[in-house]
């Protein structure tokens, strides 16, 4: 009986646990013996690998984060430690890996494949939604809903005190979370890396709005712009409105997975097991235009992620 090991790596994202559960159950159904790697790449080196039991994946569907835990390992960049990881897998007869994580995790496993010929399938999981080649990554919908609830709550206070609130979202250098959240929460200002902003134009627009009766402002800022504090001060000075900055931070990575993230996790996991079962070696599972497929790791690693033009077009007016 062939064996498949499942691991989570990199930043945690809601949807990882449903993906682990489905990957274990579906691989067993396909005739594989499933194993779990705990603590990500570090656990692969340290031998924290065990055969998956039904108890391991029972009651984890609704939990955020990753029950397998995660890590970023500098040691994995060194050949001797990768060789140790390979020997750990050999001892248990494991010859395939499913990694649930981001592009950095995929590159690490691709190097592992080049060194020791251990095939892997990657399931994209990052709230940043910045992996090239796929429209969707696990954890995005849950993060957007966390942001939506936070912005809705903050707007209650904004209207009560006639204040402006600048809300900073995560996303590294990708503005997907900020842009989608600004549209879905009815924000008045949006600052994101992919959009050119014009503060003079924003000032004129909002002065006119305030003269017509607007008594509060919600601004969404992507962390990659480093504009949170600057925009807060700018609003106070230029719009004569008390402004406060709220950095949502890591609350966006937690929370029980939404229905969409749970169902997408199942579909990604099934596609990953099927990819390995078909003999693919270093493929990333992608979701585009409603369909799942596979993309070679080099096409992901060598590409630059770009936001959908229609999303940028919809949101451009909020930056001017």
Q: How far apart are CA 133 and CA 123, in angstroms?
A: 12
Q: How far apart are CA 240 and CA 97, in angstroms?
A: 57
DSSP conformational letter for 138: B
Strands (E) located in 155-211: 164-169, 189-191
Q: How far apart are CA 24 and CA 265, in angstroms?
A: 12
Q: Of the listed 12, 39, 56, 128, which one is catalytic?
A: 128
CA 241 to chain CA centroid, Å, is: 34
3-class SS of residue 318: helix
Q: Within 10 Å of residue 42's Cβ, how many Cβ atoms?
A: 21
Q: Which of 39, 29, 52 is nearest to 9 (CA)?
A: 39
Q: How far apart are CA 93 and CA 95, in angstroms?
A: 6
Instruction: Let me know if 128 is a catalytic residue.
Output: yes
Any idea what the Cα angle at residue 160 is, between residues 155 and 164, rounded to 5°? 55
Q: How far apart are CA 85 and CA 83, in angstroms?
A: 5
Q: Which helix (H) or strand (E) holds 281?
A: none
Sheet holding 217-222, edge to edge: 189-191, 217-222, 164-169, 243-247
Q: How far apart are CA 222 and CA 205, in angstroms?
A: 21
CA distances 85 to 41, 42, 78, 118, Å, are 9, 9, 11, 11
List the catalytic residues. 128
């Amino acid at each position: 009986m062939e064996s498949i090991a499942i691991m989570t790596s990199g930043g945690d994202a809601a949807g990882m646990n449903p993906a682990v559960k489905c990957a274990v159950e579906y691989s067993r159904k396909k005739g594989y013996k499933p194993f779990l790697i705990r603590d990500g790449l570090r656990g692969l080196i340290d031998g924290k690998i065990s055969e998956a039991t039904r108890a391991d994946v029972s009651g984890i569907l609704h939990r955020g984060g990753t029950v397998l835990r995660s890590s970023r390992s500098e040691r994995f960049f060194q050949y001797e430690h990768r060789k140790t990881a390979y020997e750990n897998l050999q001892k248990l007869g494991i010859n395939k890996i499913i990694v649930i994580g981001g592009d950095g995790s995929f590159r690490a496993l691709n190097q592992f494949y080049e060194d020791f010929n251990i095939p892997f399938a990657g399931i994209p999981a990052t709230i940043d939604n910045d992996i090239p080649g796929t429209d969707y990554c696990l954890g995005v919908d849950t993060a957007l809903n966390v942001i939506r609830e936070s912005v809705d709550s903050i707007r209650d206070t904004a209207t009560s005190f006639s204040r402006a609130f600048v809300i900073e979202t995560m996303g590294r250098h990708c503005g997907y979370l900020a842009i989608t959240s600004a549209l879905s929460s009815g924000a008045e200002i949006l600052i994101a890396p992919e959009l050119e902003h014009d503060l003079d134009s924003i000032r004129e627009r909002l002065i006119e709005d305030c003269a017509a009766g607007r008594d509060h402002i919600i601004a969404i800022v992507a962390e990659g712009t480093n504009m949170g504090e600057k925009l807060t001060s700018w609003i106070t000075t230029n719009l004569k409105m008390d402004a406060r900055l709220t950095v949502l931070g890591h609350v966006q990575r937690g929370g029980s997975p939404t229905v969409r993230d749970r169902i997408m996790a199942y579909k990604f996991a099934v596609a990953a097991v099927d990819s390995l079962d078909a003999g693919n070696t270093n493929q990333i599972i992608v979701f585009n235009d409603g369909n799942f497929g596979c993309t070679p790791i080099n096409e992901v690693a060598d590409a630059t992620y770009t936001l959908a033009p229609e999303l940028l077009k919809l949101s451009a007016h909020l930056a001017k």
